[in-house]
C-alpha cells in the first residue's frame, strides 16, 4: 500500500499488525527507505535481534525514531542516501579528501611490488 510505503512528510501514521518479531522485522524492512527505526520491548533478545536485522542507519531501543545526537553518525541505507553519514566523526570525512603520502628516504629507486620480494 502506498500509504505505508511512500514518504508523506506529515502527521500521518500507518498502523500494521504482526504476530511475531520475525514478521515485525520483515515489515520494518519492507520499505525502499532505511533511515531511522525503533523497537519497544522488555526482552533484551528481541532488542538485539532488531538491532541486528533492521535495515536502517539508526535503530532506537525503547525510544522514539527521532532524537539523533550530533556526535553519532546520521544517515540511512537503501533509498535514504548514497552511503554518506552526517554528524559524528564521519561529518569531517564527508567534506575531506584523503591523500596517501609515501616518503622514501633510502636514497635509491625502490620499486613497489618488484623490489619488495
Partner 1 sequence: MVQEYKLFIEGKFSDSSTGEAFEDINPTTLESLATVQVAGIGDVDRAVEAAEAGFLIWSEIPAPRRAEILLKAARILRERKEELAVLMTKEMGKVLPETRGDVQEAIDITYYAAGEGRRLFGETTTSELKEKFCMTMLRPIGVVALITPWNFPIAIPAWKIMPALIAGNAIVFKPASDTPLLALKLVEILVEAGLPPQVINVVTGPGGTVGKAVVQHPRIRAISFTGSLDTGKWIMEECAKTMKRVSLELGGKNPVIVMDDADIELALEGVLWGAFGTTGQRCTATSRLILHEKIKEEFIKRLLAKAKALRIGDGLLPETDIGPVINKAQLEKIERYVRIGKEEGAALLLGETDWTPAFLAISSSPRYLRMSGLT
Q: Is the dihedral of CA 46, 40, 59, 12 positive or negative?
A: positive
The answer to whether 109 contacts partner 1 (rule: CB under 8 A) is no
The answer to whether 6 contacts partner 1 (rule: CB under 8 A) is yes
Cell of 59: 535503530
Q: Which of 22, 48, 52, 64 binds partner 1 (CB under 8 A)?
A: 64
What whole-number distance in Å separates Cα of residue 63 and Cα of residue 38? 7
Q: Is the dihedral of CA 80, 57, 89, 83 positive or negative?
A: negative
Q: Binding to partner 1 (CB under 8 A): which residues in 70-89?
A: 70-71, 74-76, 79-82, 84, 86-87, 89
The answer to whether 22 contacts partner 1 (rule: CB under 8 A) is no
The answer to whether 52 contacts partner 1 (rule: CB under 8 A) is no
Amino acid at each position: 500500500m502506498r500509504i505505508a510505503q511512500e514518504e508523506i512528510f506529515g502527521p500521518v501514521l500507518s498502523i500494521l499488525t504482526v504476530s511475531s518479531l520475525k514478521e515485525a522485522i520483515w515489515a520494518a524492512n519492507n520499505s525502499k527507505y532505511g533511515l531511522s527505526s525503533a523497537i519497544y520491548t522488555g526482552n533484551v533478545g528481541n532488542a538485539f535481534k532488531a538491532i541486528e536485522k533492521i535495515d536502517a542507519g539508526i535503530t532506537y531501543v525503547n525510544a522514539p525514531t527521532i532524537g539523533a545526537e550530533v556526535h553519532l553518525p546520521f544517515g540511512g541505507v537503501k533509498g535514504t542516501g548514497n552511503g554518506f553519514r552526517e554528524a559524528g566523526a564521519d561529518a569531517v570525512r564527508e567534506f575531506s579528501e584523503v591523500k596517501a603520502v609515501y616518503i622514501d628516504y633510502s636514497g635509491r629507486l625502490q620499486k613497489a611490488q618488484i623490489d619488495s620480494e
